[in-house]
Chain A
Amino acid sequence: SQTIHQWPATLVQPVGSPLSLECTVEGTSNPNLYWYRQAAGRGLQLLFYSVGIGQISSEVPQNLSASRPQDRQFILSSKKLLLSDSGFYLCAWSGLAPSYNEQFFGPGTRLTVL
């Protein structure tokens, strides 16, 4: 069966510090991978989308970047965190388009920027 891992689970970082969040998927090949951010009491905002190694689509211009160095690894990074980067970060995977596949989410990382 497929599983998705995210770490760390929680993170408190000072403004201006770098960030690296990691997501890995097991039990599937060639997944679509996604990074979302969820502000408190809000819906999910799609940040990045990847259909393959090295292929990243940015949905929202911002202070963050993403990379996919391996088929089942997705990394979210920042060189300098802003207060507005605080939130709940979720990684998800799905099967390949154009089939209508649901998305499977990881447990999330709670990021607080102080």
Chain B
Amino acid sequence: SQKIEQNSEALNIQEGKTATLTCNYTNYSPAYLQWYRQDPGRGPVFLLLIRENEKEKRKERLKVTFDTTLKQSLFHITASQPADSATYLCALDKKAAGNKLTFGGGTRVLVKP
């Protein structure tokens, strides 16, 4: 069966350090992968999209890598700040199924000052 796995344990990190989150998937051939941020009680907010033919994508302090051989994406927050504390979700498309996404369970990040 298809699975998307994110570390369910919270990631505690000191301010200024780099947070690295992992998204692993099985039995998928996604055309693209997305990362979202979700604050408590709010809807997710889109951060980055990376296509299957792209290795790396950057946006300000965020970096995403996509390895379709390993079936893994890494999400990095550099120079982390307390305001980066949130849950981060990865999502994959169901190829040939329109624009429907399947989300991982998310990883909570806590940045301590």
Residues of A within 8 A of B (CB): 32, 34, 36, 42-44, 46, 49, 51, 59, 88, 90, 92, 94-98, 100-108, 110
Contacts and interface: CB of A to CB of B under 8 A. Distances in A.
Interface string B76-113: 00000000000001000100001111111110000000
Given A34-B100, A105-B45, A107-B42, 20 more contacts: A36-B103, A43-B89, A43-B103, A43-B104, A43-B105, A44-B44, A44-B103, A46-B100, A46-B101, A90-B44, A92-B43, A96-B99, A97-B99, A100-B31, A100-B93, A103-B34, A103-B44, A104-B46, A105-B44, A107-B43
Contact of A46 (B31, B49, B102): B102
Nearest to B104: A43
Main secondary structure of the interface of B (DSSP, over half): strand
A102 B46 contact: yes
Contacts, number: 58
Contact of A97 (B6, B98, B103): B98
Interface of B: 4, 6, 31-32, 34, 41-46, 49, 51, 89, 93, 98-106
Contact of A32 (B43, B89, B98, B106): B98
A36 B101 CA distance: 11
A99 to B, nearest CB: 8
